[in-house]
Amino acid sequence: MADRVIIFDTTLRDGEQSPGASMNVEEKLKMARQLEALGVDVIEAGFPISSDEDFEAVRTIARQIRGPVIAGLARAIPEDIERAWEALADARHPRIHTFIATSDIHLEYKLKKTREEVLDDARRAVRLAKSFTEDVEFSAEDATRTDLDYLCQVVQAVIEEGATTVNIPDTVGYTIPSEFTKIITTLRQRVPNIDRCRLSVHCHNDLGLAVANSLAAIQAGARQVECTINGIGERAGNASLEERCTCGTICSHSPPACGRRRSTRRASC
């Protein structure tokens, strides 16, 4: 696996959840074309089961945007994963992105499930997604408020099932850089099969730290960052694509951490 930072843009999924940012299929396709021109590696095109329009948008982008990986979001339940695959099947590089919450607070109040049940759901979801495509991303929702031993267990399990990217989201924008460093470092030290996946981060900006947390995670070994144009997204938004990618904070290193030459890639290097 090449040691470079993958830029995963979720303007069309998380970004669209910010008030006033809804787009129709045509607008989403236009945005996807711009993201492709910018040179992002992965476009999360939507959440296919959430509505027929979103399904259509993901399917249209999957058929027309041929450079980047096209990802579709799915909860860790079979109907979501099957619907995501229906939308993605024609993509040149499809990715199913499945997720389930792993923090005790989400388990108790949202999912009403035990840790064992969630671990099983995560395994089953990745196994099903993997039956459709090689490229499977798993997100442990609310990872930064998850018990670290349990997070290690979940990450190990989903890698065993074939997850190729494991995302550690700061879902509620709760963490700080030193804490994120500790989480990523612990996962890399304790999860025995961690080398078989790419670690990813997804940071929300409630404390104004989304970009700082993303950079801390990269320094600790994460190799995919999730971001949006102008940092739009749920509540305070996400890490912004342009702050992280064009400021040179990452890419001034030689060779650039993202593996692309700035001279040949103008905007999203």
Q: Considering the complex, what minimum distance in angstroms separates the CB of residue 137 from Zn ion?
A: 13
Rank residues 14 and 36 by Cβ distance to Zn ion and give the closer one: 14
Q: How far apart are CA 92 and CA 245, in angstroms?
A: 25
Rank residues 93 and 204 by Cβ distance to Zn ion and give the closer one: 204
Structure tokens at 261: 């030459």
Cα-Cα-Cα-Cα dihedral sign, residues 16, 238, 232, 2 = negative
Q: How far apart are CA 136 and CA 129, in angstroms?
A: 7
Q: How far apart are CA 248 and CA 268, in angstroms?
A: 10
Report whether 208 contacts 170 (CB < 8 A).
no
Rank residues 208 and 264 by Cβ distance to Zn ion and give the closer one: 208
Alpha helix stretches (DSSP H) within 191-257: 210-220, 241-245
Q: Considering the complex, what minimum distance in angstroms separates the CB of residue 143 from Zn ion?
A: 11
Rank residues 236 and 256 by Cβ distance to Zn ion and give the closer one: 236
Q: Considering the complex, what minimum distance in angstroms separates the CB of residue 199 from Zn ion?
A: 17
Q: Considering the complex, what minimum distance in angstroms separates the CB of residue 7 from Zn ion?
A: 16
Q: Considering the complex, what minimum distance in angstroms separates the CB of residue 227 from Zn ion?
A: 10
In three-state form (DSSP H/G/I as H, E/B as E, the rest C), the secondary structure along 104-121 is HHHHHHHHCCCHHHHHHH
Q: Which residues bind Zn ion (CB under 5 A)?
A: 14
Rank residues 211 and 251 by Cβ distance to Zn ion and give the closer one: 211
- Residues written for the chain: 269
Rank residues 68 and 231 by Cβ distance to Zn ion and give the closer one: 231
Report whether 11 contacts 35 (CB < 8 A).
yes
Residue least distant from Zn ion (Cβ):
14
Q: Considering the complex, what minimum distance in angstroms separates the CB of residue 124 from Zn ion?
A: 23
CA distances from 185 to 66, 82, 128, 181, 219 (A): 35, 34, 29, 6, 10
